[in-house]
Amino acid sequence: MGRYLTPIQPEPYPEGRSPHPNPSAIWVKLAVLPNSYSHDRALLLCRHGEDEWYAWVPDHGEIILHRSEFFVEADWN
């Protein structure tokens, strides 16, 4: 499964604007939702360890994700 850190492009925003300060941010699809109200994607913020990342999940907040907890859908990119 060598697809873990392939970037996901977020949905385009009007006039090229992005809601995040870094338009080249890496979004990943979550294998399991952190709670039943959260989104199914996370924004990777920085590494936490060799196989873990700090991430932000809309409607949940910050979280530490292991590489096995996220992936990139085959139809993206």
- For 13-53, how does the pLDDT look when each residue is reduced to its tens digit (9 = 90+)? 445 554 555 556 788 899 999 999 999 999 988 888 888 99
**At residue 53, what is the residue type?**
W
Strand 70-71 relative to strand 61-66: parallel, antiparallel, unpaired? unpaired
| Report field, pTM of the whole predicted structure over 0.85 | no
Contact partners, residue 62, CB within 8 Å, separation at least 6: 45, 54, 55, 56
Compute the average pLDDT of residues 54-77. Answer: 82
Q: Is 48 helix (H, G, I), strand (E, B) or coil?
A: coil
15: left (phi over 0), alpha (psi -120 to 50) or beta: left
